[in-house]
Structure 1
Amino acid sequence: MPDGVRLSVTLTVPIVTRCSETFPVLLQYKPYRKDDALFYSDQSDARYLARRGFIVAQVDIRGTGSSEGVLVDREYSSQELNDCEQIIQQLANDHRSNGRVGMYGISWSGFNTLMMGTLRRPPALRALFAAHGTDDLYKSDIHYPDGIMHLDNYLIFIDHINGIPSSRGYNINEQWMKERFRQRPWIDLYLSQQIDGSFWKENSIKYAYNNLTLPVYLIGGLYDAYRDFALRVYEKSRQNSPKIKVTIGPFVHAMPENVNRHPGPSFDGKAEMIRWFNYWLKDDKNGTEIMKEPEITLFVRTGLTTGHYRYETEWPIARQEIQRMHMCKGHQLIEKNACNDVDTLEYRPWIGFEAGTWLGGLTGDQQPFDKDCLVYDSEPIKKAIEIIGIVNVSLHVSTTARLTHWIVRLEDVDINGQVLLVTTGALNGAQRQNSPAYLQPNSRYTITFPLRFTTWTFYSGHRIRISVSNAMFPTYWPTPFSMNTSLFLNSSVTFVDLPVLPVLSSSSSPSPSFTQKQVSSDDILPEVFSAAKPRLYKRYETNTTTTITFERISYELLPNNCFMSALQTFNLTCSHRDPSVVRWSGRAQQTYVFDVRGYGSIDDIPLRNGDPQLYPNIDLTKRKHFIVLTESEVRSDRDCFYINFKRQLFQSNSTKNQSSHVFTFKGKHKRRFQ
């Protein structure tokens, strides 16, 4: 970089078949440690892409993984984007490159792919491929979805890996201590930015839609919290971009080819990436079919795990009609409403586990959640209806507290009484207008907000349900005041608008051919040196508290003969007596043991007994090893959030009571409309 800092890049180069042959370059740019934690998954992707004629450049962001420098001060920082401009130019100038660079990625690397294509636009960057991204870093990211505070395992994960020694040598020295280990935890930074403003807007692409003049392929997931971004970007930027293609499928926060994680039918997403970049970076005259296809591919759900893909030629869809349904007396949901009534709800901040732990993933029966909500059911449907798009809600409400959240879920009640979640949306009542302001207790407000993009088919005999609550724990951090809320049932102000389409049979709209392609067995690297235990979420209840717990353990045996285990856990507890008393505590541990040789797979390495099993059952006295342990706590009362943070490193033969390096941090932030 211009300041002398060297960033680590792994280049995977195709086999040259003729003299002076050059290739386009595909860049993935993220902080998740490409040389240990993500080594096998990243190398599998690179191998796939290089075999198809692309140089693949995987780069660790400054101060992370194997790269040099001081840890960047936040996600998507100006420093991160400045460095990326330099990287792209260097890759374009490489003698093996044809001068054309594409960026690709999922989540973080999908975010900065879009940022580089809208906010920086270096000349050598020619095309983009982004999965599960966002255009709004405040309301459509992980920290304050819908303007409401959220904490899960990501915050302990990122603050943990930010402090681990560089994977280029794992040197434990003063430079590492200064540049990484003693850096301020990001959780403190994000709690200092509780409302929308310049901090979040600086690199949110929603304020620069007109700058997107590059071709971009967008992937969204119906079971992912970021499902809305793809069609928003399409609608706002399609007039300026030479081509935007959107595919939204039954995906969680993973690429479409990850068949082990998705609840519905998946396909070879990397093959789509190849088709896309072949056209834009290689001038592939045989690849023009991707330009002739309709720009939008949607998975229309007929159940939680069933449905079919189909093309749409436009967005919004012209044949769509808005069906307005009114919440009415007797907990009815009807099309014509003449009632004028009121329903009240007691605030229970601990309810909501049935709706998931964040705004994604597969969920089960919603009945246990609904018993503590206001629910409104339609009559059994006489003829199947299909919805595709954004459901919009209007509520006329009052509350006895100055801060209240409203959460609305659209659900399907089947003929057996099982209740399935279709989509969710929420509003932080203090952010009902451009400038945040507390509510006036017992005053009436008309609030409007969208639910997340969805597709669904309601079948004959099923009922449409709207469920209204003031909590959805643990997805949203509870508001701090006991309260009752009122919902005023009036046809002009309390209703839901459903985006309804005529039901098309799957035979009348056959699935696009690309959605039927699976990854070839030749392109799947055996995962013999990588393993993980299933992610575990549990709920524990007493008379006074509800606690949600999470645990994840993974193992790697790296090519440098290093055994690595990683543990992530968190507990999130809400008081039943005082809604302001909430506590999140996270713990992450990474164990590195070197010179582990002679094993044919990760499963061959014996583990020491104990819970959890993080240590190989081998002689550690003669092997270099170290442990990084991170513990983080956020708790709240009516007025403030409090942070207690601790990083420790234990070197060879030391114990937890004899940690060789310790960093502690305490923070306190006044609650600001949260």
Structure 2
Amino acid sequence: MPIPLNENEIFPVTLEYLPYRKDDSFYAANFIDIWYFSRRGYISAKVDIRGTGGSEGIRVPKEYSDIELDDGEEIIRQLAIYPRSNGAVGMLGLGWSGFNSLMMATMRKPPALKAIYAAHASEDLYYNDVHYIDGVLHEDEYILSIDHENALPSSPLYSVDNDYISNRFLQYPWMDLYLQYQNDNVEFWHEHSIMYHYENLTIPCYLVSGLYDSYRDAAFNIYTNVKAHNQKVKLVAAPVTHTMPEDQTPGPGYDSNSDIVSWFDYWLKEKNTGVMEQPDLTIYVRNTTLSPTESMNKPIPGEYRYETTWPIERIQLKKMYLIMGKMLSSQQPASNSSMPDELEYMPWIGVQSRTGWGGLTGDQSELDKYALVYDSEILNKTIEIVGFVNVTLEVSTNVTQTNWIVRLEDVHPNGEVTLVTGSLRNGAQINGRLLPRYLTPNQMYTITLSLHFTTWTFQLKHRLRVSILNSYFPALWPSPFPMKTKLYFGTIDLPVIPSNNMDFYVTPDFTQRQRVPSDLPIISDRTLLLEGNKTYMTIENTEEMTTTVSYTSYVYQSIKDFYVASQLRWNLTVHHYDASNVTWTAMAKQIYVWNIYPNITMCSSTESGLSSSCLQINVLSGYPTLDLTTRRSLELQTSLSINSDQNNFYTNTKRTLMQNGTQTLVNQFKQTHPRQFQ
């Protein structure tokens, strides 16, 4: 909260509303944001959702529940009447807090909510969220971490009492809840997806889309469907993953907190910051000659541009054809081939794609060895695209359940391949998401799909490539049957920006502002002691004929007078010759140790770790090298697993709580969920 200059000074309020434990797991990030906004005249509220973090009550029954939104209304009402508040509240956030900002603005519309800022937030909870990517089951570290952290005791006391046991520890795992709803034809997904309520979004709305984020379509879908009745919508598409632009992953980013202040100053303080005089759209167009290996973990060359219309009026569609000889041609063939290209299903293929349509993927040439690929001629001029690439395929399969993955790629002269964009179609949804049905073997089907939003410039001497797969492991849970698919014909429509328009672009000033050192506070009561790099390892077992992808991460830190260790790992394994036999195992562990020395640091290898200045840590166990008999400690372990066969998913969740080294609570859930078109 800012310090008032006089007893009558009042301030607007920013609200971020999450289940991500503001007092420990997200303490550092929250401190930086609150410090930044309070220095600029905002009361900054971070609120844990009911039954999570430091908030009381029974853990909410699911993501974005009515309880969450009901509470959100009450929180906004109370913030608006707070004595130092001017009555104007702005919601903001990334991911979850962006999602519920949109929901509050669309479905609840409390009078005090004057504007929102939503980054990487989806309009579609089934097709464009983490559980069913483009309609196919997906499991990753989020599924583990959200269940695990929401079973931890409430901060700041971390009491293990009857309320904790009933309200958190014994609550039903969300993993099982989402496996009950494997298709989009139920109200479960629709009731809080704002795509069914666009007409209600009427307050000022600032949207951020990340070119390397899985949710990047959402901002454009919202803008397209809202702009006609709401002239107060802004959109930025930046070259970032699931982070804010200022985090530069990979970048180039900009000082997005400064942009948030400019937005909220206009709507919550009634200051003319000029933000509404700027064009609605700011889009970063990628333009690099680097190979994917050269560009990994570096800012991607290109430029930010203003756009005044969406879709961009000057776009010209360029149609290309997938033809015999694995060619991608601008010339329409005389007739569709009667001799289709055939693809054998290998359920373990796809590891180079990492875990979906977000993030940096690196060179894709190895993966393309197992795909149907169609290459253009070597380009004699650049091709710049901005928008959604539309694809039509004529296909067949010899089984009843098949997924088709389509990717647009850039082939560098050195042979390396960059993933530009992609999407997929669950074969059960060919006739629509709301009408899933099994395929008829060997019947020809027409698939139409829109690849995820992209910007890209194909350079001279490069080639365009369309790559088609039936497996995308580990991003997608493999479909259960051995199969062969056939491709008879295909087209692709590219949204091309004509080269003669490139002299008219204006670079937005706000994208050139960078965060300065004075905007990064020193957090005196928190120290990051050790952080393990997130890793994706692929393990091939030639005896058992399996492929496993493994992910691990750990963070050890001190906050005030206690130590917190977080460990997380998962493995996803598929059998090569039984695609239905898939196993996902995951383990998370959180350790708290109280009464450590203030401002402690990590010991070097030559220090004892027994002084008041530094701490040694057993990296494997996560425990510090301290006398734990004289200190309170608490540990929660959560293990999740999903196994599948052709008919079912079998889940097992186990929670174990340790206090001072002694096991005090154990609970286990086992469920069987029939496969439903997955």
Name the TM tier (shorter chain).
over 0.9
1:626 positional shift: 1.0
1:599 positional shift: 3.5
Matched, 1:512 2:508: yes
1:542-621 counterparts in 2 under 5 A? Answer: 542-543=541-542, 544-559=545-560, 561-601=561-601, 605-609=614-618, 611-612=619-620, 614-621=622-629
CA contact (8 A) 1:624 1:652 kept: yes
1:254-269 counterparts in 2 under 5 A? Answer: 254-259=243-248, 262-269=249-256
* Separation in structure 2 between the aligned mates of residue 566 and residue 642 of structure 1, nearest angstrom: 27
1:556 positional shift: 2.1
SS in 1 for 2:303: strand
SS in 2 for 1:536: strand
CA contact (8 A) 1:214 1:242 kept: no
CA contact (8 A) 1:640 1:670 kept: yes
Matched, 1:36 2:24: yes
CA contact (8 A) 2:602 2:616 kept: no
Alignment match, 1:335: 330
Q: Identify which range, 183-192 or 241-250, moves more after superposition.
A: 241-250
Letter in 2 for 1:428: N
CA contact (8 A) 1:605 1:616 kept: no
Letter in 2 for 1:447: I
1:470-516 Cα shifts (integer Å, max 9, x gaps) = 01111111000000000002xxxx21111111237987524211111
1:7-46 counterparts in 2 under 5 A? Answer: 13-46=1-34
* Separation in structure 1 between the aligned mates of residue 251 and residue 68 of structure 2, nearest angstrom: 35
Matched, 1:191 2:210: no
* Separation in structure 1 between the aligned mates of residue 85 and residue 168 of structure 2, nearest angstrom: 34
Letter in 1 for 2:280: E
Gaps of 5+ in 1: 1-12
SS in 1 for 2:189: helix
CA contact (8 A) 1:607 1:614 kept: no
CA contact (8 A) 2:527 2:599 kept: no
* Separation in structure 2 between the aligned mates of residue 324 and residue 507 of structure 1, nearest angstrom: 25
* Separation in structure 2 between the aligned mates of residue 602 and residue 558 of structure 1, nearest angstrom: 13
1:175 positional shift: 1.2
1:263 positional shift: 1.4
SS in 1 for 2:35: helix
CA contact (8 A) 1:555 1:602 kept: no
Alignment match, 1:522: 518
SS in 1 for 2:566: strand
* Separation in structure 2 between the aligned mates of residue 432 and residue 623 of structure 1, nearest angstrom: 59
CA contact (8 A) 1:585 1:632 kept: yes
CA contact (8 A) 1:384 1:458 kept: yes
1:541 positional shift: 1.2
* Separation in structure 1 between the aligned mates of residue 557 and residue 600 of structure 2, nearest angstrom: 12
Alignment match, 1:448: 448
Alignment match, 1:351: 349
Match of 2:287 among 302, 326, 329: 302
Alignment match, 1:238: 227
* Separation in structure 1 between the aligned mates of residue 421 and residue 621 of structure 2, nearest angstrom: 38
1:208-607 counterparts in 2 under 5 A? Answer: 208-259=197-248, 262-285=249-272, 287=273, 289-303=274-288, 305-338=300-333, 339-341=335-337, 342-434=340-432, 435-489=435-489, 494-503=490-499, 508-526=504-522, 529-530=527-528, 531-543=530-542, 544-559=545-560, 561-601=561-601, 605-607=614-616
Gaps of 5+ in 2: 289-294, 604-612
Letter in 2 for 1:214: I
1:27-176 counterparts in 2 under 5 A? Answer: 27-176=15-164
Letter in 1 for 2:654: K
* Separation in structure 1 between the aligned mates of residue 474 and residue 614 of structure 2, nearest angstrom: 36
CA contact (8 A) 1:299 1:307 kept: yes
Match of 1:627 among 626, 635, 644: 635
- Equivalenced residues, count: 648
RMSD: 1.3
* Separation in structure 2 between the aligned mates of residue 309 and residue 618 of structure 1, nearest angstrom: 51
* Separation in structure 1 between the aligned mates of residue 231 and residue 187 of structure 2, nearest angstrom: 30
1:275-330 Cα shifts (integer Å, max 9, x gaps) = 00000000103x1x211111101110013522111111110001001111110000
CA contact (8 A) 2:50 2:58 kept: yes
Alignment match, 1:670: 674
